[in-house]
Structure 1
């Protein structure tokens, strides 16, 4: 069993991509097992207890956006004492459609790897969210938490998604192919997405099933995972998913953190302004200005209140009568 304290000394920050991968491989072998899967993927296994987090991630996001420049799976395992199976892709927005990855999961299934754990949670974002759902079939009764996943990029099923045209040549129809079908053996699954991003909302509807809960984050845009992380609730959502307790009520509690998240408030401001919803915009400005002085909100509220005052000025209302007399 790995000593989780060793994961505190990661020494990953500031490394270029190739030295970063070398360091991850070194740590993976020191704490457990590490395997290169073809030229583009790395898989690390660290055993630390009966709960297993299976995370699909990519090197650029881990280096740029995560604390300590580490895979999120490692950070969660370090802080919770979980075991972890972390699959890393060299490039961003990767769907893990590769024979080497298929073969690796075949090996895990053959050796009964997932049977050693009491609880298993698959996690991923975007293309990695697709992979988390698709490969979860290797561990029946696992739980799956995905953020803005694609159900498939097969043009026969998702021709309306034009964002990843270069990926359509990949095979999304063979093994571990159509992610919603692969979720049928999961005990519970969650799909977090912004319903105002049309493509993400359409993919989410393809995941709709009795064992899958769709959780909406309107106005967070195309990268809700970054905002949820900054808001300090993403790790909590992963905890709830591991426990199996994430439901609409629990999510609503975490979602309230948006009320203090300035990027969300700015996006909502712009949307209300664009829609001409002056009353709601004034309420939003007053809400923000209760706790902080934000010039954008203060100036707009002043303009709205000035217009309201002009419309209700009794001298202006009396002017037509005076002119008539």
Structure 2
């Protein structure tokens, strides 16, 4: 992002802050925008997809949706792979806690995914009793903890994961409840999830969703529904799982299942699953499935796929 783009974005956020709440430039890498609504506050953090964008003007992640629900929104924006490890960000949350900012609200929710999921858990200790919605969070990227099993996010390894708001599983212990979404088949994400322990942690296991759980839920059209349910205390874990069943017809999810079967070298099951998907879907939209069926058919002397007659 160029300096001119940053200035343009800052000017936009500053005007929104003046009109509806406040805006704060925390340091060169982080900004905070508060948009006042009702007595529910949702605190969000940019994830890596947002932090890497070279978009001239954008709101911090989730602020537009949160405001549209009538809730108050506090969005923390990031430029780059920061994991929000900044003294200026720490000082900002210390200030909010010490000045009683969070006490103004009947309910406080911290919300984020991946890098932002880490931040949602880590900074929730500034508002004890909060609810945390954390999608595929990291517990830490401290190499003394993660060396040997977490080899992603090399650019963030230089960050200091000690001191204030650091080890997310400890920081989240003061939350009323943490909703932790993860795919147990993703080794790194599963290990991070296992480090979050305690009676306030509710695990939502999203098998075959991969690391992009939020993205897939968004494409399924259920992310907002689940978020509204959790923020409003109108949904249970069983209710979330019921909604997640919609994944079975999603192309991205179906492809993840197929890839898993192919990797496990289970030809018979791969063949049956791919044919079942093709029988239910217009085959031109599933060329990968057709190719797998016909490759296995050739090797195993099975019938090739032919589209059903219309």
Structures share a fold, TM > 0.5? yes
Summarize the Cα distance change of 1:65–1:285 in structure 2 as closer, same or farther, 3 Å threshold.
farther
* Residue 96 (structure 2) pairs with residue 104 (structure 1): no
The match for 1:319 is none
Contact 2:47 2:114 in 1 (8 A): no
Q: 2:118 aligns with which of 130, 145, 148?
A: 130
Does the 8 Å contact 2:115/2:138 carry over to 1?
A: yes
In structure 2, distance between residues paired with 1:247 and 1:298: 38
Kindly indicate whether the alpha-carbon contact (under 8 Å) linking 1:52 and 1:85 is maintained by their aligned counterparts in 2. yes
Instruction: Identify the residue that residue 27 of structure 1 maps to in structure 2.
Output: 16
- Measured on the aligned residues, the alpha-carbon RMSD in Å equals 2.6
Offset, 1:20: 2.6
Unaligned runs of 5+ in 1: 1-14, 311-325
Q: Secondary structure at the match of 1:72?
A: coil
User: How far does residue 137 in structure 1 lie from its aligned partner after superposition?
Assistant: 0.7
Q: Distance in 2 between matches of 1:190 and 1:59?
A: 20
Larger radius of gyration: 1
Q: 1:229 maps to which residue?
A: 218
CA separation of 1:261 and 1:65: change in aligned 2, threshold 3 A: farther
Q: CA deviation at 1:305?
A: 6.7
1:95 and 2:87 correspond: no
Cα drift, residue 18 of structure 1: 4.2
Is residue 28–residue 45 contact of structure 1 (8 Å, CA) maintained in 2?
yes
Equivalent residues, number: 294
Q: Hey, what's the Cα distance between the residues in 1 that align with 2:235 and 2:194?
A: 19
Q: 1:216 offset after TM fit, Å? A: 1.9
Indicate if the aligned counterparts of 1:121 and 1:241 stay in contact, CA closer than 8 A. Answer: no
Larger deviation, residues 253-262 vs 198-207: 253-262
1:261/1:78 Cα in 2 relative to 1: closer, same or farther (>3 Å)?
A: same
Partner of residue 191, structure 1: 180
Matched, 1:292 2:282: yes
* Counterpart contact for 1:56–1:128, Cα < 8 Å: yes
CA distance in 2, matches of 1:156, 1:264: 34
Higher fraction of helix = 1
The within-5 A match list for 1:143-154 is 143-154=131-142
Q: Deviations over 1:271-290 (max 9, x none)?
A: 21232323432134314422
- Greater shift, 186-195 or 68-77, is seen at 68-77
CA distances 1:27-61 after superposition (whole Å, capped 9, x unpaired):
22222100110111111111110111100115852
Q: CA–CA distance in 1 between the matches of 2:211 and 2:48?
A: 19
The structural deviation recorded for 1:167 is 2.6
Instruction: Name the CA distance, whole Å, in 1 between partners of 2:92 and 2:297.
Output: 63
The 2-side partners of 1:237 and 1:40 are apart by 30
Deviation at 1:221, TM superposition (A): 2.2
**Preserved contact between residue 32 and residue 46 of structure 1 (Cα < 8 Å):** yes
Q: What secondary structure is seen at the aligned counterpart in 1 of 2:121?
A: helix
- TM-score, normalised relative to structure 2: 0.85
